[in-house]
Amino acid sequence: MIDTTHDIFLKGALTIEQPSKGYRAGTDAVLLAAAAASFPVTRALEAGCGVGTALLSLASLRADSTQEFTGLEKDEAAWSLAIANAARNHVLGDVKFVLGDVLAPDEGLTSQYDLVFSNPPYFDDDQAIRDPDASRQAAYILGAPLDAWIKGMLAMAKPKGRFLMIHRADRLPDILAALRGKAGDIGVCPVRPRAGDPAKRVLVSARKGSRAPLRLLAGIDMHPRVGEGRFSADYQAICDGGVLPV
């Protein structure tokens, strides 16, 4: 049995149980959910949902809608926690979690979703991180090239369906290369630690099968200038349940 903590998201709207060691959901999940909530879609799937933080955040942000929310996760321990988190937050009837692999999605999931979104592992080289904690290794190491993960996500999206991913800013060229010829109307939203800093993350949205041009968005600063508070006004608004258009 693993040690867990219970953490608060969306100004107390959600309580998420997650492992106390290894990979832990945080700001990336919050940003991903806020961006996903900007799309008026009916069926949404999170690829590699972990303990369900981003998906349940999206369900909470869209509690007044008729959306169907699905989480896909291959790790049984994380999958079990995701189901428990859905029940804990009283959304079990609106959200379902499927045990499976993004890299080889079941035929029943292909071409089914208006939106497929993800915060995938940030490394696809098993030598990129050396950590004694096995769960941290599994969460950070993709186990396949990033373009294979993107291919799996696009396979589950409907024609003209939306794609959304948060990832390291230095992988933006690889993300764009994987989307080339498969999706358009690409929006790139830089995520900067502070105003004037280089972006450390990017939110990338796209529409499957579209030929519309790329859009470079203004982006968001996570923190104000030193000494001016913990979070920027824009990010604090997201933490409180706001939406991030992408």
Q: What is the pLDDT of residues 115-142, one digit of tens each?
A: 999 999 986 654 444 454 555 545 444 5
- Whether residue 136 contacts residue 50, with contact meaning beta carbons closer than 8 Å, is answered with no
Strand partners, 166: 203
- Beta-carbon neighbour count of residue 195 at 10 Å? 12
The rounded percent of the chain whose pLDDT value lies above 90 is 76
pLDDT of 39 > 60? The answer is yes
Q: Provide the greatest CA pair distance for the chain.
A: 52
Give the integer Cα–Cα distance in Å for 44 and 205. 14
For the segment 172-219, what is each residue's pLDDT rounded down to a tens digit? 999 999 999 999 999 999 999 998 899 999 999 999 999 999 999 999
pLDDT of 143 > 70? The answer is no
Q: What is the pTM of this model?
A: 0.90
Cβ neighbours of residue 178 under 8 Å, at least 6 residues apart?
Answer: 146, 147, 150, 151
- Whether residue 221 contacts residue 232, with contact meaning beta carbons closer than 8 Å, is answered with yes
The rounded percent of the chain whose pLDDT value lies above 70 is 90
Strand partners, 20: none
